[in-house]
Amino acid sequence: MKGTARQRVREMPKNTTAAILVKQNDALVVDRVELPENLGVGQVLVEFDYSGLCGSQLGEIQGTKGFDPWLPHLLGHEGVGFVLKVGPGVTRFIPGDRVVAHWLPTAGISSECPRYAWKSRQVNAGLVTTFNRHGVISENRLTILPDWIPNELGPLFGCALPTAFGTVENIANVRIGSSVLIMGVGGVGLNMIQACQLRGAKDIIVFDLIDSRLSLASKLGATLCINTTCGDSFAAVNNALGGRSLD
């Protein structure tokens, strides 16, 4: 849905559909899980319409960080939905608010993590999960989504945008006249191009393996796009910069 938030008047659900990580390096199990009976302090019940898929979730599924002691558990940290109910102490939201869920802490209460039930088993979850139709989310992992942003674009504000802009501004400290090399232009990399433009970078050079991504990067403002499968990429960068160094 585009436009303003709408009130969703309905009976509070007792269960919901969720994608559950039961075993690493295995397919997610899509099934019904039981929602917590009551919301705790700082918790918000959200009905999700859209969720993003981040490399972090792929890493969880594939076990890139090793053994996962929290299995089975829910996944996802970027999504858009509507508030159905708020728990004690929540002051930033009311039922009907359209919100974006995100991993980055913001104002509000940091609640306890919710626990769901599935086939008489406990299913763990973090402060935000979005691979579920309904989720119990910590107040400080939600932000009101402005009316002009459509639902389908909202998940970008949950991960790709803050990660990209935070990296460019706070870590790389890109300044007016900077020369920047972005290695990989997926969701985060493409947003980094726009962040570099806003910071006044002079040279925005990107590396990727896929021509279609490089084409999109060029449209978004990259000044030099290099497919790293074709020749000496760093030689091409040095030639383009004319002996100037990257910042």
Taking only the tens place, the pLDDT of each residue in 120-163 is 999 999 999 999 999 999 999 999 999 999 999 999 999 889 99
Are 114 and 230 members of one domain? Answer: no
Query: 36 is in which domain, residue-wise?
Result: 15-151
Identify whether residues 209 and 184 lie together within a single domain: yes
> Which distant-in-sequence residues (6+ apart) come within 8 Å of 155 by Cβ?
50, 51, 52, 78, 79, 80, 100, 130
DSSP labels for 121-157? EEEE--S---SBSEEEEEGGGEEEPPTTS-GGGGGGG
Which pTM does this prediction carry? 0.84
In the predicted structure, residue 2 carries a pLDDT above the cut 60 = no
Q: Are residues 122 and 195 in the same domain?
A: no
Summarised one tens digit per residue, pLDDT across range 169-186 is 999 999 999 999 999 998
Domain-ending residue, one of 102, 127, 151: 151
How confident is residue 242, by pLDDT bands cut at 50, 70 and 90?
A: confident
